[in-house]
Structure 1
Amino acid sequence: MSFEQIGRRGFIKITAAAGGTLFLGGLTACSQDGGGSGGGKAGYSGDVAITGLASLIHSAPFFIAQSEGYYEEEGLTLEHIQFPGGLDTVRGIESGIGFGTSSTIPVFIAAEKGMDVRIFGNVYTAASVDFIALPGSPITSIEDVRGKKVAVSTPGSNSSYFADRTLRAAGIIPGKDVELISVGSASDSWTAVSQNVVDVAWTASPLSEKIASESGAKVIWRSRDYVKDWSDTCLVATGSFIDENTDALKGWGRALKKAMDLITNDLEKAAEVYGKAIGYKPEVALEALKNSQNFYSLDFTDAQLAAVVAAGKEQGQITKEPDMDAIVMRNFLS
């Protein structure tokens, strides 16, 4: 089957679902009067790349903005395209989609590698990795993991980084006081703890709340309890896309701000919309959003950006000081 037969959007969906890398050359989304720098309605139609769309709590404003008609109010017709990881998302954005939301560290990695990407808004401002145990486990706090096994995804992953960082913050040394075991995804991690391969599993909201609701599992600690300044995910676009679709991106920001305001001001309604979108029970979605209600923002702080860069350097992913003014457009959505 040729690319022409399946179309650009179908090709993106297939590649993103497979976790592959996109190389689409100069292809762009369909846009009707999306450019310019004025303040009018965008009139834009196309795809938007989202990291971990259905599996991570940061995506709630995107589902809400779409379901509640906030996109439509801004003249936007957008189709969310899910990517499995931050670097995959950034590559998809840089290779043809043009804009989306990604984990923040990968944007700095991509910029260092010469990719034409810019950050123009924050999204989720808390470290998103949680650690859970079986309901009958004797482990009730991070202090209880001494001599135990903690599941992480893979070396170099967010779960591995936050396990190491939070344990050390609690005075527990991985490799000496506790063993970190690479097991794969959050679902694989829960399987490992359920089969007594490990004592504590890594996970992330809303899966944390779903597992707790269905099995009685208990959250032992959350990374955000130890990491106070953070930007977990952000809004990203290529420089050329920003130049050509300024109004569309500002309209997208306004739509997302309305969704974030709904989470702040009417949590039950927001949870109902979000739960329906991801197929979760309303009470589970409500608990997940309640736990994250204070961590949605389009604004950055210097401390958040510094923390992300420091984490990237610590892991060897960022090798030099980034040009913040060239990468981060702090006032774009103001």
Structure 2
Amino acid sequence: MSIEGVWYTRCPVPTAFSLAVEQGWIDDAVGEHGLVARSLSASSDPKVRQAHFDQNLSAFFRHGGNIPPLVARSRGVDVRVIGLSWAQIPQQLLTLPGSGIGSPEDLRGRRLSLPRRVNSSVDFVRATALRGYEKALASAGLTLDDVELVEVVVDRSFIAESTASTGERDSLWDAGYLTGFQREEAAALRDGTVDVVFASGGHAARLRAATGALVVIDVGAFDEWARNVNNGNPAALTVTGDLLDERPELVAGVLAAVIRAGRWAVDEPEAARPVLARESGVAVEDLDAAYSPAVAAQLDIDLSKARLAALADQANLLERHGFLDGPLDWDTFVDDRPLRAAREVLKRQLAAT
């Protein structure tokens, strides 16, 4: 097939991909091959925008939560993981003052909110909450059988509430959308339908501010990496197989730009922080609380054994709870060739400066 342009998207979380977009390095890497790079926001077609979750678009990069690419791959979509990143993300169980819940041990018999996005093809929010609850309960020797999961139905679709912007580089997700991300769960918490809500990253910061909720436990603060796995950790940088097979040099160039952006953020954190905050839908002043004071230094890309094991652990959870449509062929799902090539590209770039 003939590839005429390249699409990309990124989740509303801190990523080096966002910084590479901001710096113009994605445009440059794609432009070197005579093609134009566009964010999914450049199209007003809902089917194009939906590719953020389904990944069923030709010549397409995505950097963000790992659940959509895992689900897409299980559905037969030829998407390849070419890098993984790991920024610290708070993963908090929240409850209102006066609930009597002060620790995970107090969760026994309590009502935990479990969202169901009925108009979303990939209900990553539900899967994210399930993992958060399992980890919190396990820390107290409990399981999901020891609590009541209360379904909170959300009939809004992600794409219907994506930004109206058609900017060539814009994110699909702006602060206005993100502010209302968990409004149904916030209402259920406030009216007493549920006792506990799970929220992560910027969503947790917004929910705490809107409801006055207290943190029961932050499972994202566990020391062991294996206990911190969730949708955002590891974040997956993926590309569709058509682009990788037809234009491997282009893919390596884009990946090199992303790696370069992560390194730039380490050297220039004060320049990177406003971009990371905007992309995450939080004020710069709230970035530390929403993520970590060290977030600008946590954007590196690799395919280490630990991160791959974390991704496999996430796939196991999704399979166990029925989110996957079929088995994953890890030998073809993860491809380390672009990462090796990207590192060589960076070596040449540094040698030329």
Q: TM-score, normalised by structure 1?
A: 0.70
- 1:81 is matched with 40
Q: 2:259, 2:283 → 1: CA distance?
A: 25
1:250 lines up with 2:252 in the alignment: yes
CA contact (8 A) 2:136 2:217 kept: no
Report how far residue 123 of structure 1 moved.
3.2
- 2:335 partner SS: coil
1:327 lines up with 2:337 in the alignment: no
Report how far residue 150 of structure 1 moved.
1.5
Q: Where do 5+ consecutive residues of structure 2 fail to align?
A: 118-122, 155-180, 341-353
- 1:12 is matched with none
Q: 2:3, 2:101 → 1: CA distance?
A: 50
Q: 2:322, 2:89 → 1: CA distance?
A: 19
Q: Which moved more, 1:214-223 or 1:184-193?
A: 214-223
Give runs of aligned pairs for residues 90-129 of structure 1, distance below 5 A: 91=54, 93-101=55-63, 103-124=65-86, 129=91
1:49 lines up with 2:46 in the alignment: no
CA contact (8 A) 1:271 1:289 kept: no
1:187 lines up with 2:183 in the alignment: yes
Choose the corresponding residue for 2:286, options 284, 287, 305: 284
Report how far residue 240 of structure 1 moved.
1.6
Q: 1:203, 1:173 → 2: CA distance?
A: 19
Q: 2:91, 2:114 → 1: CA distance?
A: 10
Identical aligned residues as a percent: 20
- 1:298 is matched with 301
- 2:26 is matched with 71
CA RMSD of superposed structures (Å): 3.5
Q: Aligned AA for 1:322?
A: L
CA contact (8 A) 1:193 1:200 kept: yes
CA contact (8 A) 1:109 1:317 kept: yes
Aligned length: 286
- 1:333 partner SS: helix
1:128-162 CA distance string (max 9 Å, x none): 75322235654333222223222121397223421
- 2:9 partner SS: strand
Q: Aligned AA for 2:257?
A: A
Question: Residues 125 and 289 (structure 1 numbering): CA distance in 2 closer, same or farther, change over 3 Å?
Answer: closer
1:271 lines up with 2:226 in the alignment: no
Q: 1:324, 1:295 → 2: CA distance?
A: 26
CA contact (8 A) 2:79 2:238 kept: yes
- 2:225 is matched with 228
Q: 2:238, 2:277 → 1: CA distance?
A: 26
Q: Aligned AA for 1:111?
A: R
Q: 2:289, 2:132 → 1: CA distance?
A: 23
Question: Residues 143 and 153 (structure 1 numbering): CA distance in 2 closer, same or farther, change over 3 Å?
Answer: same
Question: Residues 187 and 241 (structure 1 numbering): CA distance in 2 closer, same or farther, change over 3 Å?
Answer: same
- Which is bigger in relative contact order (C-alpha 8 A, separation at least 6)? 2
Question: Residues 215 and 165 (structure 1 numbering): CA distance in 2 closer, same or farther, change over 3 Å?
Answer: closer
Report how far residue 282 of structure 1 moved.
1.3
- 2:348 is matched with none
Q: 2:269, 2:29 → 1: CA distance?
A: 23
Q: 2:260, 2:209 → 1: CA distance?
A: 29
Q: 2:182, 2:266 → 1: CA distance?
A: 28
1:240 lines up with 2:242 in the alignment: yes
Q: Aligned AA for 2:187?
A: T
Question: Residues 309 and 292 (structure 1 numbering): CA distance in 2 closer, same or farther, change over 3 Å?
Answer: farther
Question: Residues 325 and 312 (structure 1 numbering): CA distance in 2 closer, same or farther, change over 3 Å?
Answer: same
1:265-292 CA distance string (max 9 Å, x none): 5444322222244553211123324167
Q: 1:125, 1:278 → 2: CA distance?
A: 13
Question: Residues 283 and 99 (structure 1 numbering): CA distance in 2 closer, same or farther, change over 3 Å?
Answer: same
Report how far residue 317 of structure 1 moved.
3.8
CA contact (8 A) 1:152 1:163 kept: no
Q: Aligned AA for 2:40?
A: I
CA contact (8 A) 1:132 1:200 kept: yes
Report how far residue 214 of structure 1 moved.
5.5
Q: 1:314, 1:200 → 2: CA distance?
A: 23
Q: 1:273, 1:125 → 2: CA distance?
A: 15
1:250-278 CA distance string (max 9 Å, x none): 23222322333355454443222222445
